Amino acid sequence: METQVEVRFLSAGIGRVLRKFFRSGSGKMAFVGAVILIVFLLAALFADQIAPYDPTVRSGRTFQPPSSKHIFGTDNLGRDMFSRVLHGAKIALLIAFMAVLIAAAIGIPLGLLSGYIGGPLDRILTLIMDAVYSFPGLILAIAVAAVLGTGVTNIAVSIAVVYAPTYFRVIRNQVASIKSELYVEAARAIGARNWTILFRYVLPNVLPSVVVVLSMNLADAIMTEAGLSFLGLGIAPPTPDWGYDLSNGQRFILMNDWWMIMFPGLAIIVLVLGFSLFSEGLNEYLNPNVGERE
């Protein structure tokens, strides 16, 4: 009677997903992004093991161009740039992840409530979040960082303030539209309480877009963090940090010491690119409403 009955094994399911993933253009994009991210993640996790020198102390002569001893050269204090870039990945990723998690922790619940309850609460929250959102990101982060001072947590918080409204807006708008979906009304009709509806019917349907926003935000957070450190509002030296190294290196640019800014700069660019590719691919994979026929 049933014609489409088929047994599904878990492995077969995973295989199907992977196959679909790789055959589409978005899959390749996400794959390249994922490879970049994994490389950086490994670099950050095993920085102590990989780095040939301690990134905070002098390891050779100052202003050495790249050589077999110092493959990224040394800086004005004779520290090994390669080790600094490696350890910088640790700081950059740590702060980015913390910032994004804090932002999500603020933005997602507020967005859910605001969108679902609506009315005056929604208007007030939207107003506040829009006001925050309308500030240029870096300027806002500078202002908050200036108040809070340096340190990993403080930097993460100042970045989170910038991105919380993004989550809020995405979630709120999605919830507001999902709220009028028939399956939400059907849930009401079977007698579900508001909390049940919110967590079992609304939340699962907004989560895919949260994942996408999350990975996109990570790219932004990396840049904002670098920007803060570049301006001297980030991590206190001598902790290795790409933004700080960039600003440190640019003082000597007239001496043609290109390696001091090129490698931290490249690290930022590649990591941001990795996040962007990954999130873009993920986005197309999770929202495949383009070009597919049922």
Partner 1 sequence: MTLLKVENLVKHFPVRINFVKALFTRERKKVHAVNGVSFEIEEGQTLGLVGESGSGKTTTGRLILKLEEPTAGRIFFAGKEITSLGAEEMRRLRREMQIIFQDPLASLNPYMRIGEAVRHPLVIHSIGENKRRQREMVIEMLERVNLRPAEEFYNRFPRQISGGQRQRVVIARALITRPKFVVADEAVAMLDVSVRSQLLKLMMDLKHEFNLTYLFITHDLATTKYICDRIAVMYLGRIVEEGSFKDIYTDPKHPYTRALISAVPEPDPKAGEKKKKLIPAGEVPNPIDPPSGCPFHPRCPYAKEVCKTAPPKLKELESGRRVACYLYS
Partner 2 sequence: MSAGKDVVCRMENFRVYYMTFDGPVKAVDGVSMEVYKEETVGLVGESGCGKSTLGSALLKILPRTARMEGRVYLEGEDLIPKSEKEMQKLRGAKISMIFQDPMTSLNPIMKVKDHFIETIKTHKPEVSEDQALEMASKALAEVGISESRLNDYPFQFSGGMRQRMMIALSIVLRPTLVIADEPTTSLDVIVQAQILQLMKEIQSHIRSSMILITHDLGVVAEMAHRIGVMYAGHLVELAPRDTIYYKPLHPYTQALLESVPNTDINDMELSYIDGYPPSLLNIGEGCRFVDRCPKTMKVCRDRTPPDVEIKEDHMVKCWLYADNVGEVERS
What is the contact surface with partner 1 in residues (CB under 8 A)? 1-2, 4-5, 181-183, 185-193, 196, 200-201, 204-205
Q: Does 200 bind partner 2 (CB under 8 A)?
A: no
Cα distance between residue 21 and residue 285, in whole Å: 7
Q: Are 163 and 103 in contact (CB under 8 A)?
A: yes
Return the number of the residue (76 or 205) whose C-beta is nearest partner 1: 205
Q: Least Å distance between CB 280 and partner 2? A: 20
Of the pair 232, 288, the CB lying nearest partner 2 is at 288
Q: Which is nearer to partner 1, 67 or 196 (CB)?
A: 196
Q: How far is the CB of 252 from partner 1 (least distance, A)?
A: 55
Residues 6 or more apart from 54 whose CB is under 8 A from it?
A: 83
Q: Which is nearer to partner 2, 3 or 11 (CB)?
A: 3
Give the whole-angstrom CA distance, residue 192 versus residue 29: 41
204 binds, among partner 2, partner 1, none (CB under 5 to 8 A by kind): partner 1
Distance in angstroms (rounded) separating the CA atoms of residues 48 and 243: 20
265: closest CA among 67, 15, 72?
72
Burial (CB count <10 Å: 0-12, 13-18, 19+), residue 164: buried
Which one of partner 1, partner 2, none is in contact with 48 (Cβ closer than 5 to 8 A by kind)?
A: none
- Residue 116: CB minimum distance to partner 1, A: 15
Out of partner 1, partner 2, none, what residue 152 binds, judged by CB under 5 to 8 A for its kind, is none
In the window 263-292, what residues touch partner 2 (CB under 8 A)? 291
Q: How many residues does the chain have?
A: 294
Number of residues that bind partner 2 (CB under 8 A): 9
Residue 3 within binding range of partner 2, rule CB under 8 A: yes
Q: How far is the CB of 35 from partner 2 (least distance, A)?
A: 23
Out of partner 1, partner 2, none, which partner does residue 76 contact, by CB within 5 to 8 A per kind?
Answer: none
- Contact predicate 243/227, CB 8 Å: yes
3-state secondary structure of 86: helix
Contact between 114 and 174 under an 8 Å Cβ cutoff? The reply is: no
Beta carbon nearer to partner 1, 14 or 255: 14
Peptide bond into 238 cis (omega under 30): yes
Dig out the tokens for 272 from the structure: 């941001």
Residues 10-29 that bind partner 2 (CB under 8 A): 19-20, 23
Report which DSSP code applies to 150.
S
CA dist., res. 99 & res. 105, Å (int): 10
Residue 136 interacts, among partner 1, partner 2, none and using kind-specific CB cut-offs from 5 to 8 Å, with none
**Residues engaged in binding partner 2 (CB under 8 A):** 1-4, 19-20, 23, 291, 293
